[in-house]
Each structure stands twice: as C-alpha cells, then as structure tokens.
C-alpha cells in the first residue's frame, strides 16, 4: 500500500534562497512548455510531444535570458515537464469521460500559495547518516522526523506552503502490519456529528479536543481582522499572511487529532463502520462549512487505510442506515424527529435511546450485515 509521509523542513537562509530559485525555475519551465503547447494549438500545429518540450528546454538553457536554469538540478526541471504531462493527461482523460472532468492546465504564478519541486531517484537526493535531507544544488536540509519511514522512498517533493513553512513529502510503499485480533467484540459503529465530533456505538461521545477548538477560535479572530483592513493596504497583506499561518496550525491540529483517534479506534476494534458521507452532495448545502471544518472525509480516509494496513474490517454504510428514526434494538421505525430531540423511547420495544448513540448502533448493525454477507 502506498502511504504519504510529510515532515517539516528547516532550511537555512542560503538553502531557502536556493529553494526559491528552484521553485522559480520549475515554474518557468512548466509555463514555457504550457505556452508552447498553447501556441502550437493556436497555430493549428500538431500537439507537441514531451520529447519536443524537453528538447526545447535544453535549447532554452543556452539562451542568455534563460541561462540561470542551469543553476538548478536538471532532474527537477525534467520533473516539472512530467508534471505538465500528468496535468494534460488528467485533463484529456476527463474529456474522454475516464475520470471526473477538470480544467485545462493553467499557468503557475509566483503568487501561488503552494510552491513545490520534486526530486526523483535519479536526482541523487538522499537522507544522510545524521538524518538530514541532502538535495542536489541545495544542500543538507534539517528535517524534523516526527515518525519513522516504513521503507526507503524513491522520490521526495519539497513544498513551501502559504504560511511560509517547508515540508518534505515522501510516497512510500508500506507493508501490511496486521495487529493481533481483538477476540470478542461485535465491532464499532461511528456516527459523525456536529455537536460531538463522533458518537460511538458503545456509547462514548468524542468531542473535538480543546487544542483544536482553540486554534479554530483563533482562526476566526484573524479572519475578522483581515476584513477590517483596507483593501490593497500593507496591513491587509500582513493580516492575510497571519490567516494563512493560523490556517496551517488548524489543519495540523486537526490532522493530529484525526490520526490519534483513528489509530485508537482501529487498534481497539476488529471491525469499524462509519457512514458514507457523500461529502460532495452535502457540500452544496448550508452544512458545507461545518462539513469542511470537521474534516470528516480526512478522518474516514485514515480509518480506511489503517484498517486495511492492520488487518481490520472497515466499511462505509449508506446514509439511510445512520438514521436516528430507526430503533437499533428492534428495527421499529419511529418517524422523523426534529434535531432538538436528543433522546426518545421506542414505541416498539420500549428501549430508551440517545439519538446519536442509536444512530451509531444502526451503523454498526448495517456494517455487520453488509460485511458478513
Ligand atoms: Zn425498539
């Protein structure tokens, strides 16, 4: 299974300059190639092949106006061309109906929030004995290794985000790591909600942790500050940078929380079931913001790959089964209930239900039904 691992990088001043140059060169190569394709199309010429773009780049390096391209690792520039190829392929596949439609490749800008370059195996990048990331023409960069890599990665992407932070992102092949079976236990149903982050079929209710709520509160505050600054002013620019930084903090805090909770639930249970969110459908409604904030799909994705990796069962259950209208004990349909009704008594069997725990139990029932056939 392929997993992505990202680690914070702390480049020295000189290395930050070299990285800025590499981001810039990768962008110029990408944009030159994109423009060449667009010009060829406008002139009614055939679609330019990747080899022709690559040859054009080699010629451009000899042009005094583009000679600085030679100061950056050639592999990084080649990779930039391959990224353009991938963007075109995704675009054409969308037109052909092979995948969801996306827009045509667009020009990159120095103002883009996210800058990145990729080093493949033949770029001769490596992790040094002292744990630094050695990048060609950039140097040995300090890394904070927050967890161990399960295998040696072939490529590394270096990213600078909108908050000015640097990351190394690796895609690695991770072997399965089955956990001992938990023995007894029927599995766990998870109901994702707004009031609690999650309610479990065993009755536990899990709130968003305080560090995350605090970060979110701070984010709302700095967002309000931006709207009070005059448009185009230097202060507004500063406030926006601040928002980007706090945004990054919130995303980190959320990911951390999702990792901790998903690891815990997968370890504790032989089978885990969650509702299929169809986030795309929900995103068009007023719920969009809270769906986005709660980051449910990120969490469910973690449950899924961790379950697969650790030999656990995982399944998504259709929304209809997450219902708070159906008694999880006897299956009696009790009819719709307004959101303020938090508890009810089943008219069929007399069971007392907490609305959300009952929904989680329905998810568990349906999950077991669909996975045991
Ligand atoms: Zn009942």
User: What spacing in Å lies between the alpha carbon of 365 and ligand 1's midpoint?
Assistant: 14
Tell me what pLDDT residue 280 has: 45
Q: Which of 355, 343, 348, 356 is nearest to 329 (CA)?
A: 348
Q: Select from 149, 173, 197 the last residue of a domain.
A: 173
Tell me what pLDDT residue 324 has: 77
Q: What SS3 state is found at 243?
A: helix
Q: What residues pair up with 306 in beta bridges, in sequence order? A: none
> If you count them, how many residues does the chain have?
373
Tell me what pLDDT residue 59 has: 86
User: What spacing in Å lies between the alpha carbon of 327 and ligand 1's midpoint?
Assistant: 5
> Are 249 and 217 in the same domain?
yes
Q: Where are the beta strands (DSSP E) in the chain?
A: 2-10, 115-119, 126-127, 133-135, 139-144, 156-160, 166-173, 188-192, 198-200, 205-206, 271-275, 313-317, 343-345, 352-354
Please enumerate in sequence order all residues whose Cβ is within 8 A of that of 267, keeping only pairs 6 or more positions apart, or say none.
Answer: 179, 310
User: What spacing in Å lies between the alpha carbon of 351 and ligand 1's midpoint?
Assistant: 6
Supply the angle between the helices 13-42 and 50-62 in degrees, to the nearest 10.
Answer: 120
Q: What's the CA gap between 201 and 304, in Å, rounded?
A: 18
Burial of 194 (0-12, 13-18, 19+ CB in 10 A): exposed
Specify if 314 maps to a domain. Answer: yes
Concerning whether 275 is annotated as a catalytic residue, the answer is yes
Specify if 143 maps to a domain. Answer: yes
16 CB-side CA count, 13 A: 9
Tell me what pLDDT residue 253 has: 85
Contact 81, 29 (CB under 8 A): yes
Nearest 10 degrees: Cα torsion 81, 87, 89, 95: -150
User: What spacing in Å lies between the alpha carbon of 28 and ligand 1's midpoint?
Assistant: 66
Contact 57, 80 (CB under 8 A): no
Specify if 197 maps to a domain. Answer: yes
> Are 219 and 147 in the same domain?
no
Tell me what pLDDT residue 214 has: 86
> Are 258 and 317 in the same domain?
yes
Tell me what pLDDT residue 172 has: 87
> Are 137 and 161 in the same domain?
yes
* Set 275, 276, 334, 366: catalytic member: 275
Q: What SS3 state is found at 157?
A: strand
How far, in whole angstroms, is CA 70 from its chain's centroid? 33
Concerning whether 191 is annotated as a catalytic residue, the answer is yes
Q: What's the CA gap between 130 and 141, in Å, rounded?
A: 11
Specify if 268 maps to a domain. Answer: yes
Alpha-carbon Rg of the chain, whole angstroms?
25
Specify if 178 maps to a domain. Answer: no
> Are 91 and 208 in the same domain?
no
Tell me what pLDDT residue 312 has: 93
> Are 233 and 165 in the same domain?
no
> Are 294 and 232 in the same domain?
yes
Tell me what pLDDT residue 2 has: 81
* Set 32, 83, 249, 356: catalytic member: 356
> Are 90 and 150 in the same domain?
yes
pLDDT in tens, the chain (373 residues): 788 889 999 999 999 999 999 999 999 999 999 999 999 999 999 888 888 888 888 888 888 888 888 888 888 899 999 999 999 999 999 898 888 788 899 999 888 878 999 998 888 899 999 999 999 999 999 999 988 888 888 889 999 988 889 999 998 887 888 888 876 578 999 998 777 889 999 999 998 888 888 888 898 898 888 888 888 888 888 888 888 888 888 888 888 899 999 999 999 999 999 987 765 455 445 554 555 555 788 899 899 999 999 999 999 988 776 677 889 999 898 878 777 888 999 988 999 999 999 999 999 999 999 888 6
For residue 100, give its domain range.
2-173
> Are 263 and 311 in the same domain?
yes
> Are 120 and 247 in the same domain?
no
Nearest 10 degrees: Cα torsion 95, 96, 98, 104: -20
How far, in whole angstroms, is CA 180 from its chain's centroid? 29
> Are 220 and 160 in the same domain?
no
Predicted model pTM: 0.72
Give the total number of structural domains in the chain: 2
> Are 107 and 77 in the same domain?
yes
Quick one: DSSP state of residue 326?
Answer: B
Tell me what pLDDT residue 170 has: 93
Q: Select from 147, 173, 199 the last residue of a domain.
A: 173
* Set 191, 195, 268, 334: catalytic member: 191
Q: What's the CA gap between 175 and 235, in Å, rounded?
A: 50
User: What spacing in Å lies between the alpha carbon of 325 and ligand 1's midpoint?
Assistant: 10
Q: What's the CA gap between 175 and 93, in Å, rounded?
A: 31
Quick one: DSSP state of residue 201?
Answer: T
Q: What's the CA gap between 117 and 80, in Å, rounded?
A: 7
Specify if 180 maps to a domain. Answer: no
């Amino acid at each position: 299974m392929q997993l992505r691992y990202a680690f914070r990088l702390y480049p020295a001043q000189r290395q930050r300059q070299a990285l800025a140059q590499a981001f810039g060169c990768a962008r110029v190569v990408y944009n030159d190639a994109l423009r060449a394709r667009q010009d060829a199309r406008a002139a009614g010429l055939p679609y330019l092949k990747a080899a022709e773009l690559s040859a054009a780049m080699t010629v451009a390096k000899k042009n005094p106006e583009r000679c600085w391209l030679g100061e950056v690792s050639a592999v990084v520039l080649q990779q930039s061309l391959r990224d353009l190829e991938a963007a075109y392929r995704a675009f054409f596949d969308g037109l052909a109906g092979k995948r969801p439609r996306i827009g045509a490749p667009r020009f990159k800008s120095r103002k883009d929030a996210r800058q990145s370059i990729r080093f493949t195996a033949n770029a001769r990048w490596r992790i040094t004995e002292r744990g630094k990331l050695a990048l060609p023409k950039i140097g040995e960069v300090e890394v904070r290794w927050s967890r161990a890599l399960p295998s040696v990665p072939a490529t590394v992407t270096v990213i600078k985000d909108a908050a000015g932070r640097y990351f190394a992102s690796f895609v690695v092949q991770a072997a399965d790591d089955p956990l001992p079976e938990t023995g007894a236990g029927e599995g766990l149903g998870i109901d994702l909600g707004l009031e609690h982050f999650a309610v479990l079929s065993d009755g536990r209710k899990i709130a968003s942790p305080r560090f995350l709520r605090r970060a979110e509160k701070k984010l709302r505050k700095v967002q309000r500050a931006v709207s009070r600054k005059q448009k185009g002013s230097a202060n507004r620019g500063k406030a926006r940078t601040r928002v980007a930084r706090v945004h990054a903090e919130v995303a980190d805090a959320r990911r951390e929380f999702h990792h901790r909770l998903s690891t815990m639930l997968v370890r504790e249970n032989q089978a885990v079931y969650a509702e299929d969110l169809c986030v795309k459908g929900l995103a068009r409604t007023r719920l969009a913001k809270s769906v986005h904030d709660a980051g449910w799909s990120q969490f469910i994705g973690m449950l899924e790959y961790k379950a697969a990796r650790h030999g656990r069962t995982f399944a998504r259950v259709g929304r209809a089964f997450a219902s708070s209208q159906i008694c999880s004990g006897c299956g009696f349909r009790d009819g719709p209930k307004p959101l303020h009704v938090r508890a009810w008594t089943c008219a069929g069997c007399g069971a007392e239900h907490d609305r959300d725990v009952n929904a989680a139990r329905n998810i568990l029932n349906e999950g077991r039904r669909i996975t045991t056939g």
